């Protein structure tokens, strides 16, 4: 094959192949490239300005996309330049985005693969170490994040995710309009959310926030009231129903300890069934739940109350919503369901924020979706000790899903 043909197939704009080497036993292909004669425009990697003075010439070897069964590396002739502003610097080359030994398009292929497969699998596919794949993915995501427009924040979601015993809670702030997470913070204190509102937003941006979907958690309310004066707090369905689920589970556990023998076996391990909505269960699961209910009327009652609380958000007039809530609380009388009575008190204590759902229109289910995406990533990845990586990953996931939806609508 002639150098001309190598150049054509390699397809690096502005560069030509002047030497090639094939190793058939190790299945390796090496190509040496330098600038084409017409490509003389040198750019400083420090400031991005055009420079003329070349100080010296050197070579760098990077891995590029594979050629059939061959692992391909490209040896590039590079120049160090003298920039009037930055001094002596390396020239900027499109295919060399970082100091790592990979071409840009190779990193893009790895990054793209990481969108649909776990790091370990991508590492095996490309014959790289898992840590290398992770580093490439981070750079790929950072380049993507740097090059896109960020939509304004008008309605935000604040949620907490439980990471486990050692790391405890992660506070997640998201943009409800785009369904993308904006920021992660350790723990779930007032100072945590302060950290976002105070340091990541300007005063103008803070005053532009109109609504926030949050959990009934005092520190978050305090932080929002201090920093975002125009923001209405909405206690959304997702968060309230989480508390309802926890209350039902508390009833289940109490009954488990109250009963003995065979009855215990029926109550045991039904936690997830009780948290699920009836309409989402298949016949077998419904039968299991009915078995549990036949044995224990108190669990049945708690479950039905949780199911009916769900309807609270079907009202759009606050008077009707309030009436429904009142009748829901009335049903608790004489039931001796302490955890649900506690929940009722909590709802009354946060009544304004619950009724705000009727006053401020916020999209339903976004906080839940963001939460779900992050949990999926955590389940799939495990290696997210770097929170910034997890955030970039979740943002990309949200953005590509949105793009997909937009595409579907257009079609």
User: 120: number of CA atoms within 13 Å, CB side?
Assistant: 4
Cα 130 to Cα 28, 111, 375, distances in angstroms: 22, 13, 21
Residue 232: name the closest of 211, 253, 205 by CA: 211
Contact 66, 126 (CB under 8 A): no
CB-nearer residue toward Zn ion: 44 or 302? 44
Q: ∠ CA 167-247-237 to the nearest 5 degrees? A: 80
Instruction: Name the segment binding Zn ion (CB under 5 A); options: 36-44, 66-74, 114-122, 339-347.
Output: 36-44
- Smallest distance, Zn ion to C-beta of residue 91, A: 10
- Smallest distance, Zn ion to C-beta of residue 85, A: 5
CB-nearer residue toward Zn ion: 46 or 383? 46
Contact 97, 107 (CB under 8 A): yes
Distance CA 108, CA 102 (A): 10
- Smallest distance, Zn ion to C-beta of residue 100, A: 22
Residue entry with tokens 């945590």:
192
Classify residue 386 by its DSSP letter.
S
End-to-end CA distance of the chain: 44
For Zn ion (CB under 5 A), the number of binding residues is 6
CB-nearer residue toward Zn ion: 59 or 85? 85
Residue entry with tokens 């309807």:
311
CB-nearer residue toward Zn ion: 47 or 346? 47
Cβ-Cβ contacts under 8 Å for 166 (sequence gap 6 or more) = none
Q: Are strands 211-214 and 232-235 parallel, antiparallel or unpaired?
A: parallel
- Per DSSP, the residues of 52-68 read --EEEEEEEEEEEEEET
Candidate residues 5, 85, 352, 386; the one interacting with Zn ion per rule CB under 5 A: 85
- Smallest distance, Zn ion to C-beta of residue 83, A: 3
CB-nearer residue toward Zn ion: 83 or 213? 83
x/- letters, 253..292, toward Zn ion (CB under 5 A): ----------------------------------------
Handedness of CA 55, 56, 60, 65 (dihedral sign): positive
CB-nearer residue toward Zn ion: 84 or 269? 84
- Smallest distance, Zn ion to C-beta of residue 95, A: 20
- Smallest distance, Zn ion to C-beta of residue 99, A: 17
Burial class of 165 by CB neighbour count within 10 A (0 to 12, 13 to 18, 19+): exposed
- Smallest distance, Zn ion to C-beta of residue 45, A: 8
Q: Should residue 82 be labelled a site residue for Zn ion when binding is judged by CB under 5 A? A: no
Instruction: Name the segment binding Zn ion (CB under 5 A); options: 55-63, 82-90, 306-314, 358-366.
Output: 82-90
Candidate residues 78, 86, 90, 118; the one interacting with Zn ion per rule CB under 5 A: 86
Instruction: Name the segment binding Zn ion (CB under 5 A); options: 38-46, 67-75, 162-170, 261-269.
Output: 38-46
Instruction: Name the segment binding Zn ion (CB under 5 A); options: 78-86, 233-241, 266-274, 286-294.
Output: 78-86
Distance CA 387, CA 169 (A): 12
Dihedral (Cα; 247, 251, 253, 258), 10-degree rounding: 160
CB-nearer residue toward Zn ion: 21 or 85? 85
Candidate residues 10, 33, 62, 83; the one interacting with Zn ion per rule CB under 5 A: 83
Q: Should residue 173 be labelled a site residue for Zn ion when binding is judged by CB under 5 A? A: no
- Based on DSSP, count helices (H) and strands (E) in the chain, helices before strands: 17, 12
Candidate residues 43, 47, 273, 332; the one interacting with Zn ion per rule CB under 5 A: 47
Q: Should residue 44 be labelled a site residue for Zn ion when binding is judged by CB under 5 A? A: yes
Contacting positions for Zn ion (CB under 5 A): 44, 46-47, 83, 85-86
């Amino acid at each position: 094959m002639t150098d001309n043909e190598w150049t054509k197939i390699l397809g690096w704009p502005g560069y030509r192949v002047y030497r090639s080497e094939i190793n058939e036993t190790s299945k390796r292909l090496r190509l040496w490239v330098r600038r084409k004669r017409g490509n003389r425009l040198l750019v400083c990697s420090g400031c991005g300005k055009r420079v003329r003075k070349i100080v010296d010439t050197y070579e760098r070897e990077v891995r590029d996309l594979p050629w059939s069964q061959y692992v391909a590396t490209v040896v590039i002739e590079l120049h160090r330049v003298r920039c009037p502003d930055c001094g002596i610097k390396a020239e900027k080359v499109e295919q060399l985005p970082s100091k790592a030994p990979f071409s840009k398009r190779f990193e893009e292929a790895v990054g793209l693969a990481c969108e649909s497969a776990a790091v370990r699998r991508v590492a095996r596919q490309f014959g790289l170490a898992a840590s290398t794949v992770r580093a490439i993915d981070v750079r790929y995501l950072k380049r993507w994040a740097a090059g896109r427009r960020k939509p304004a924040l008008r309605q935000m979601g604040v949620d907490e995710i439980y990471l486990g015993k050692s790391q405890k809670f992660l506070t997640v702030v998201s943009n409800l309009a785009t369904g993308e997470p904006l920021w992660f913070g350790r723990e779930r204190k007032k100072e945590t959310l302060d950290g976002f509102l105070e340091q990541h937003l300007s005063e103008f941006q803070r005053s532009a926030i109109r609504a926030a979907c949050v959990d009934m958690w005092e520190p978050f309310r305090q932080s929002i009231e201090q920093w975002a004066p125009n923001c209405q707090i909405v206690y959304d369905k997702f968060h309230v129903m989480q508390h309802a689920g926890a209350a039902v589970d508390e009833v289940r556990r109490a009954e488990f300890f109250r009963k003995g023998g065979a009855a215990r076996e029926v109550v045991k391990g039904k936690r997830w069934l009780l948290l699920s909505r009836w309409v989402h269960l298949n016949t077998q699961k419904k039968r299991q739940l009915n078995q549990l209910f036949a044995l224990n009327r108190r669990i049945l009652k708690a479950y039905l109350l949780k199911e009916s609380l769900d309807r609270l958000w079907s009202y759009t007039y606050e008077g009707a919503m309030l009436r429904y809530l009142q009748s829901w609380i009335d049903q608790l009388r004489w039931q001796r369901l302490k955890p649900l009575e506690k929940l009722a008190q909590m709802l009354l204590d946060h009544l304004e924020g619950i009724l705000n759902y009727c006053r401020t229109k916020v999209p339903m289910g976004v906080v839940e979706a963001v939460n779900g995406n992050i949990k999926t990533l955590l389940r799939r990845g495990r290696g997210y000790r770097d929170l910034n990586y997890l955030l970039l990953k979740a943002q990309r996931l949200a953005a590509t899903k949105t793009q997909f939806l937009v595409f579907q609508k257009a079609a």
